[in-house]
Structures are given as C-alpha cells and as structure tokens.
Amino acid sequence: MYYSTHYRSPMGDILLIGDEDNIISLLIGEQKYIENAVPKNITEKDDNPILQECIAWLDDYFAGKNPKLSRLPLAPIGGEFKQQVWKILTEIPYGELTTYGCIAKEVAKRMGKDRMSAQAVGGAVGHNPISIIIPCHRVVGANGSLTGYAGGIEKKVKLLKHEGVDMTGLFMPKKGTAL
C-alpha cells in the first residue's frame, strides 16, 4: 500500500509518497518524468510516520540545518543503472556541485565498465523520483550550465542558492532545460 501527503515549501507544493517503510517519491509541483515515479493505488494519509519523518527532514532542510540523509529510508523506483546514479547523487555534499561527466566516471567504475555516457547519466538524474532529498539539483554541466532539472531550472537555482553554492561561473542554458 502506498500513501501520500502534501507539503508546502519555499519551492511550492510538494507531493510526498511512501509506503509503510520508505519514501518512494518527492515531486515538486508539475515535475517532469513522474509517470514511473508515482505508484498506483495511493491513499492520502497525512499521519503516515514515514511521511511525517520526511516532512520533519524537509522542515530542517528549508531551515538551513543540513539534515542527514540517513534519517530517511529511501526506496526510489528504478532499474539498476538509475539506482547507481541516484546512490551517487546522495553522496554529493550539501552546498557542493558535481558534473554529469564526473558521475558517469563513477558509475562506470562501480559497474565495472570502461566508460559511461554522461547523457545516459543525465537521463537517470532527470528521472530522479525523490528530488531535493536525492540532490539532483547539485549536478551541472561541465561548462557550468545549469541544464536539467525536472522541477524547473528556476527551482534548481533557488535550491543551490539556499545551500549557499557559489554561483560564479554557472549560467542558464540557452535552449532546453532537460537532458
């Protein structure tokens, strides 16, 4: 059984989805690519303990407290490759950035491959079903482009500024906002 609740944040309305044991999805507004992130048969349940812990985590995050990811049991829905990418995303420290290329190198290493496509990584990053908590907003293009954020580039910028990221050298992409 899956449960949901809504959370009002500085980013707008967030839909939280979980089961009895894990957070499954955190979706910001009209986020792209949600078709596989939202399970069927969801019951709205504001008092679900897992969702309440997620709300407490988000309250701490938006208060600037840098809460530990280990507080939350996460179970995003996706295949092995996406799971590898999302695991690496959870290792990006608060207020720091990495690139799609760096993640591609790390995924290749962990999967025992010679190389991995940064574009494939971009696709997995873009389909992250637990935005903010699995911090896909901390990934930028090698040239400093703020490309790609399923919740919208403006929200990505807002999250990075909230974390105190030095925005020097970063720029909005000229066309398209998703990889």
Q: What are the φ/ψ torsions at residue 15 (nearest 5 degrees)?
A: -100, 120
Q: Which residues are catalytic?
A: 136
Q: Residue 90 corresponds to which amino acid?
A: T
- Do 110 and 99 contact (CB within 8 A), yes or no? no
What are the structural domains, with CATH classification, of the chain?
2-71 (3.30.160.70), 80-162 (1.10.10.10)
Burial 44-56 (b: 16+ CB within 10 A, else e): ebeebebbeebbe
Distance CA 131, CA 49 (A): 20
pLDDT at residue 179 in the model: 33
pTM score > 0.95 for this model? no
In this structure, the number of other CB atoms found within 10 A of the CB of residue 154 comes to: 13
pLDDT at residue 174 in the model: 78
Q: Residue 114 corresponds to which amino acid?
A: D
Distance CA 146, CA 155 (A): 11
Beta-strand ranges (E) seen in the chain are 2-9, 12-18, 23-28, 42-44, 98-99, 139-140
Please list the pLDDT of the chain residue by residue as tens digits (179 residues): 999 999 999 999 999 999 999 999 998 876 665 666 677 788 899 999 999 999 999 999 999 999 999 999 999 999 999 999 999 999 999 999 999 999 999 999 999 999 999 999 999 999 999 999 999 999 999 999 998 787 888 999 999 999 999 999 999 887 644 33
